[in-house]
Amino acid sequence: MARDYLKKATLTAQSGASDVHELVQGILSDIEAGGDDKAREYAAKFDKYDGNIILTEEEIATACDLVPQKLKEDIQFAHDNVRRFAEAQKATVSDFEYEIVPGLRAGQKAIPVDAAGCYIPGGRYSHIASAIMTVTTAKVAGCTHIAATSPPRPGVGVAPAIVYAAHICGADTIMALGGVQGVAAMTFGLFGLPKANILVGPGNQFVAEAKRILFGRVGIDMIAGPTDSLILADKTADPHIVATDLVSQAEHGYNSPVWLVTDDRDLAEDVMKRVPDLIADLPEVNRDNAAAAWRDYAEVILCADREEMAACSDDYAPEHLTVQAEDLPWWLDRLSCYGSLFLGEETTVSYGDKASGTNHVLPTSGAASYTGGLSVHKYMKIVTWQQATREGSKRVAEATARISRLEGMEGHARAADVRLAKYFPGENFDLTSHE
């Protein structure tokens, strides 16, 4: 049967996007030309903040002292999980060398970038977990300098828990600077920072557009849109938990899509009945976000069977994908397009968002069809090298000369010719090209 939309979205992440390119480009150009002083001007304008941009050791210590011990322990627990998972990821990439032909060796090296810039949202919500996710992975990768920046609040500064998390996770510099000006400061090397080689971390549409514009002169993890989540559920799923998980992700923002894909109509209808009451029970800001997201962006899709459900999910390529269905190994093997996968009722996207160890900086808006999320590998350059004996280079030089001439690249060919002439002076080689 064709997919049956029991609830259809009236908007998409693309239709809801605003064009902020010119505004962001103007701010970046101003700050690049005006340096530290211009960045401070924008901090005063947008952040309503006139304190220190670079937090001193005393300010960091004071902020850390304000964090309750129980929260410190939770942050330390999450940091340890993320660190250990990142270390396991790093171990999957190793240096090696290989003899391609006798006398010609080539190899791979994994080299961390020098400077990482981590953006940590702090506007609507204080994203403590984003500090853990971005700074920890950069530290495990081996970056020599890690800058973290987060929007300060007027008269308060950066949220103390964000400062504490960035500090214990290994940030070398912590800045009180939000939005485009924070991204610009790390990219252009303002306030005495080294210029960032890579920018990472989630943010609003202004931060995302700044990263889009700057990509090329600096690396980025990805260009993130509104967060999105999809749940695959069959008749065995608990409708209350499914509904709760959908609402938990809808609270991210008014334009955060959530999708339920199922082969059981009764489950779908039960979940749809429960969602409004669960939203109504949230605090005001969360309630308003979740209500708008559910009304305008959410979808409930009825499929014929689990194969059609899996195909539907792969088409959406969600940032977060949850499976609450029988035969979890089948789903793990079958599904191929997602940022992070949560198998079974016993785990949830919220775990991955905060503390379980996998990274929460993930591809949105269908980008999971071609990329994964932030990992220790994003901070590492996989480079190659080669070395040859004279005999080992002989056959390669012949092939290089002939291929180059066939392509019309005579200079390349002569770089091979001179080596053959020097290393094998008594031999004749046919180095002409023949189409």
Say which amino acid occupies 148. A
Instruction: Tell whether 407 is in a known binding site.
Output: yes
Instruction: Tell whether 21 is in a known binding site.
Output: no
User: What's 195's DSSP letter?
Assistant: P
- Which one of 127, 145, 167, 320 is the catalytic residue? 320
Instruction: Tell whether 167 is in a known binding site.
Output: no
Return d(Cα 222, Cα 111) in angstroms, integer.
20
Instruction: Tell whether 432 is in a known binding site.
Output: no
Instruction: Tell me which H or E stretch contains 333.
Output: helix 328-334
With left for phi above 0 and alpha for psi between -120 and 50, is residue 26 left, alpha or beta? alpha
* Residue 233 near residue 269, CB atoms below 8 Å: no
**The two three-digit tokens of residue 341, written as one number:** 């996968």
Instruction: Tell whether 127 is in a known binding site.
Output: no
Instruction: Tell whether 209 is in a known binding site.
Output: no
Alpha helices in 142-264 (DSSP H): 160-169, 179-188, 205-214, 239-250
* Residue 2 near residue 305, CB atoms below 8 Å: no
**The two three-digit tokens of residue 396, written as one number:** 């390669």
Q: Which of 193, 201, 127, 115 is nearest to 165 (CA)?
A: 127
- Which one of 79, 209, 319, 360 is the catalytic residue? 319
320 is catalytic: yes
Instruction: Tell whether 320 is in a known binding site.
Output: yes
Instruction: Tell whether 377 is in a known binding site.
Output: no
Q: Which of 344, 338, 368, 369 is nearest to 356 (CA)?
A: 344
User: What's 378's DSSP letter?
Assistant: G
Strand-pair partners of 104: 101, 388
How would you class 168 by CB atoms within 10 Å of its CB: exposed for 0-12, middle for 13-18, buried for 19 or more?
middle
Return d(Cα 271, Cα 7) in angstroms, integer.
12
Instruction: Tell whether 204 is in a known binding site.
Output: yes
Instruction: Tell whether 5 is in a known binding site.
Output: no
Torsion of CA 60, 65, 71, 73, to 10 degrees: 90
Which residues does the annotation place in the binding site for Zn(2+)?
Answer: 249, 252, 353, 412
Which residues does the annotation place in the binding site for substrate?
Answer: 227, 249, 252, 320, 353, 407, 412
Which residues does the annotation place in the binding site?
Answer: 119, 181, 204, 227, 249, 252, 320, 353, 407, 412
Which residues does the annotation place in the binding site for NAD(+)?
Answer: 119, 181, 204
Active site (catalytic) residues: 319-320
